[in-house]
Amino acid sequence: MNDARRAQRGDLAPEAVIENVRPSVDAGRFAAKRIVGEPIEVTADGFAHGHEKTLCTLRYRGPGERDWAELDMEFLGNDRWRGSFTPGSPGLWQFQLTCRVDYLESWREGFARRIDPADVRLAARIGAQLVAQSLARASGADRERLAALGRTLETEQDAAKLRAASQDATAFALARKHAPRDAQCETVAFPVAVERARARFSSWYELFPRSASGEPGRHGTFEDVEERLDEIAAMGFHIVYLPPIHPIGRAKRKGRNNVPVASDGDVGSPWAIGAEEGGHTAIHPQLGTIADFRHLVRGAKLRGMEIAMDIAFQVAPDHPWVAEHPEWFRRRPDGSVQYAENPPKKYEDIYPIDFETADWRALWQALHDVVAFWAREGVEAFRVDNPHTKPFAFWEWLIAEIRREHPNAIFLSEAFTRPRVMHRLAKLGFSQSYTYFTWRVTKPELTEYFTQLSQDDSREYFRPNCWPNTPDILPYHLQDASPAMFRLRLTLAATLASAYGIYGPAYELCENRPRDPGTSEEYLDSEKYEVKHWDRGDPASLAPLVTRLNAIRNAHPALQSDASLAFHDTDSDHILCYSKRSGSDRILACVNLDPHNTQSAWVDLDLAALGLPEDASFTVHDELSGASYPWRGRRNFVMLDPGRAPAHVFSVIA
């Protein structure tokens, strides 16, 4: 059957196939992640049997759109195709690919090899039949142009003129545009979750509002937090994250250092949510009012920052839900409500919610209403406590529902758990995820882990947010550690990942005292159980280094994404070297992982990763110290004294 007859057969199964579509997460079951304004490059293999040419088309549409925009993809060779589109708004975008046999191009290629004039004239008539198929679907000027082409191929006898007509790329592009597509192969619609830029690049600062007072012994307020905003903005942070701001339960309240029984004046853990004043949509009365909170949210936005809320779906024993919805909580054999525990640890001040309740629909709606309440109050960033202990289906539903009304909502998953569970949560919609960085210390550990995060398929959906500490975690390497260890871990977090955070001012002031040295990661005199007063004016504070690192991050696009992360060999187990690049912006970091001793190394650069030729001469400018050095080629020397600086953070000037 010739090309023209095949093109007319609408009952034929597609002869083309599409494989290896990217970006794709679980064959389109989940959405890949991108940000607004970032081109989404789509690639796929599209081919047919034999020597037939194919044509691949990319279709895409934004949230709420019914019609598809469409463009022809670029052929890269070896059956590989590429196309791209740029999303202009947040929300769930979709793309779809089609592939069909390009009978016109297949005919043109064969026609160009014909020699005998009689054969040329006969083959031209086959081309005319193909053009006629497009003519039937065209109108206006396109129809006139195709009609003229068809007449030439049908009636012209001069072989040279027929050859010239077959090379009219503009006319054949029109013919291809209107060609029948009945037998084309078509993919499913692949989703892409498009979020605002803060979902990919952000610096988080965590503080307890009750400790924000400048006066020792006085419970802090939202007004105190607002007075700190200029200081935090000057350090270069984007998001100020507040632990739970709700009333704290009095029943079973924990005392200082997590002792089982509170003393008079003990304030309890903010994560024991709910008391007679209210639950998850109420505010702790000592912090202020809802009007005060709104003023704080506005104050942050005026400074180019935002307030992040903590979402902890658990309750204190005197939370209103315990009395109003007893069916939402599990009972032990003695009839008491099951409190939270992780044996041998017991959390008598917290009741977990029973997601297996028969009343689960009402429960889900109530939890949705909590997030929606704060979203309506202007909160667009949510840090979610322990999402891995709640059903996957719940998070997929909740995040999608919230984003329908609030497409700018960012969700940070605090799930220190098994890798597959962490990754499933990211697939379900969480914008960012806490990581194992907190416990990755050695050069092999850091290299392996961050190569995985930036290079394997999970990079399409899993965005790491690196924290060197949290209120729950004083990792062993920070226990009784020197400021040098705090400096190097801060530098790693801020330069390895485009999203990072610190629990400050504990981190700025190098809080390193463990409650149980070597056996627990709990802080001594943890802020989780008491109001703290921090001496932010301490001359030993790391605030100047924090400020400088954030300024470097904010000034260099290379550090605002993780896709280009590359590691470079060094001949020292103590010197970690890595780079990031965005266009001509190149950052090269060399970090001394030994907080006690000066270390040196020869660095063997992967110049291709830096976008430089093998014999390149270039300048490296240390963004931390201001010093510049001339370098040439692959091998160059570094020496780092941890007492003076934890690292070089070089901008590479070619």
Residue 105: burial class (beta carbons within 10 Å; 0-12, 13-18, 19+): middle
Is the distance from CB of 247 to CB of 277 less than 8 angstroms?
A: yes
Q: Which of 195, 318, 385, 511 is catalytic?
A: 385
How far from the centroid of its chain's Cα atoms is residue 650's Cα?
Answer: 25
Cα diameter, the chain = 106
Is the distance from CB of 213 to CB of 533 less than 8 angstroms?
A: yes
Element spanning 192, H or E: strand 190-195
Helix 117-135 to helix 103-111 angle (10° resolution) is 160
CA dist 89 and 173 (Å) reads 32
Count Cβ neighbours within 10 Å for each residue of 449-465 and write b for 16 or more, e otherwise.
bbeebbeeebbbbbbbb
Which residue from 170, 172, 181, 169 is spatially nearest to 150, judged by alpha carbons? 172
Which residue from 510, 543, 539, 471 is spatially nearest to 231, judged by alpha carbons? 543
Pairing mode, strands 185-186 and 599-604: unpaired
Q: Could you give the 3-state DSSP secondary structure of residue 342?
A: strand
Phi, psi of 282 (to 5 degrees): -100, 165
CA dist 260 and 150 (Å) reads 89
> How many residues are listed for the chain in this entry?
654
Residue 345: burial class (beta carbons within 10 Å; 0-12, 13-18, 19+): exposed
DSSP code per residue over 281-318 = TS--TTT--HHHHHHHHHHHHHTT-EEEEEE--EE-TT
Q: Which of 15, 349, 380, 414 is catalytic?
A: 414
Which residue from 522, 528, 505 is spatially nearest to 267, judged by alpha carbons? 528
CA dist 284 and 246 (Å) reads 5
> Which residues are CB-contacts of 487 (< 8 A; sequence separation ≥ 6)?
542, 545, 595, 642, 645, 646
Based on the residue annotation, tell me whether 385 is a catalytic residue of this protein. yes
Q: How far apart are the first and last CA of the chain?
A: 59
Pairing mode, strands 54-61 and 74-77: unpaired
Whether the upstream peptide bond of residue 444 has omega within 30° of 0, thus cis, is no
Phi, psi of 60 (to 5 degrees): -155, 155
Based on the residue annotation, tell me whether 414 is a catalytic residue of this protein. yes
Q: Please state, as a whole number, how many other Cβ atoms lie within 10 Å of the Cβ of residue 335.
A: 6
CA dist 496 and 565 (Å) reads 8
Locate 238 and state its tokens.
């984007």
Just list the catalytic residues: 385, 414
